[in-house]
Amino acid sequence: MEKKLKVGVLGATGMVGQRFITLLADHPWYEVTTLAASPRSAGKTYEEAVGDRWKMTTPMPEKVKNMIVHNVNEVEAVASTVDFVFSAVDMSKDEIKAIEEAYAKTETPVVSNNSAHRWTPDVPMVVPEINPEHYEVIKYQKERLGTKRGFVAVKPNCSIQSYAPVLTAWKEFEPTEVVATTYQAISGAGKTFKDWPEMVGNIIPFIGGEEEKSEQEPLRLWGKVEDGVIKKATSPIITTQCIRVPVLDGHTAAVFVKFAKKPTKEQLIEKLRNFSGLPQKLELPSAPKQFIQYLEEDNRPQVSLDVNFENGMGISVGRLREDTVYDYKFVGLSHNTLRGAAGGAVLSAELLTAQGYITAK
């Protein structure tokens, strides 16, 4: 790319906003030119606005420290400075829907980490290796919004990344029933142990709204574009439990699967290791070379050993074995703030750029 595209980060002071900034610091295609956050941060330098709330393990990039933070509600002013934006705003669902569409109507594409638009019928919710064809729905969304280049695209919930790619790799064997229990890191709630000391040595067996997302969002990924909207798939039937565990980064899933066509263990492992998609074919900057790795050791995947596989953009799978009630069971692991949040959104933006949906204004 001859000239880098100018990008803004909405909700730049929060944990996912911070992750966007670290991922984009040396990006070959994109340059962060604008940071926006709540009115209380507006007018301050980014360093002042974040204060002691920098949650990343790497230092704040020098180039953003003295950037003046904009008021995210001043949509026209922010949009005029960028080619597109990443959204990680912390607002109510209705407010997020409204503000993301407002940016889109300024002819500014929005790639969102938020859940607000995940079920808007003409908004694509995409894992780039799984359902890139859903971007076809953007043309219908533009008709509704009355835009030429502005639109909203979203990525799915972080917890499903540890098992939805696996089930996608096994699609030809027709999974019919899935039981998944996810063991979810505290960064998924935007927290560190410093913010949430009561999580040390603790487990909380409830994450609000998470089980519904975990059961329904994979079906939307596997759906089809029909009549200008995305119609979700009807199978497999998925039931989940979602548990918060004392881990900083990394969502683990213990999963049981029934298949209509009975595969061998060797067939299932081969499908995982050979599964790749458009990001790998196009060699996008953030794409993992190996999307899914299968680990033979009985005690893997482990968060401490495997969460950063492929810079946190790959999925790790292990303990695949036959089950006495279901056909097979396995354990999956994904990095919830990289593949599951900001990294997944950056990869989505790269694919949208490669396909001509995101261009310089």
Question: Is residue 81 within 8 Å of residue 8, measured between CB atoms?
Answer: yes
Q: Strand 251-259 vs strand 175-184: parallel, antiparallel, or unpaired?
A: antiparallel
Token duo for residue 135: 């971007």
Which member of 70, 117, 134, 158 is catalytic? 158
Measured between its terminal Cα atoms, the distance across the chain in Å is: 15
Strands 224-226 and 175-184: unpaired
Would you state the structure tokens that stand for residue 337, as one six-digit string?
Answer: 């703030």
Please say if 251 is a catalytic residue: yes
What backbone phi and psi angles, to 5 degrees, belong to 201?
Answer: 65, 25
Q: Which DSSP letter does residue 189 get?
A: G
Distance CA 47, CA 315 (A): 33
> Distance between CA atoms of 142 and 323, rounded to whole angstroms?
47
Find, among 16, 61, 6, 60, the residue nearest to 37 by Cα. Answer: 16
| Residue 70 bears catalytic tag | no
Q: Which of 70, 117, 134, 251 is catalytic?
A: 251
Planar angle of CA 109, 350, 99, nearest 5 degrees:
25
If we measure between CA atoms, which residue out of 105, 169, 106, 181 comes closest to residue 143? 105
For the record, the structure tokens of 171 come out as: 């699609």
Catalytic residues: 158, 251
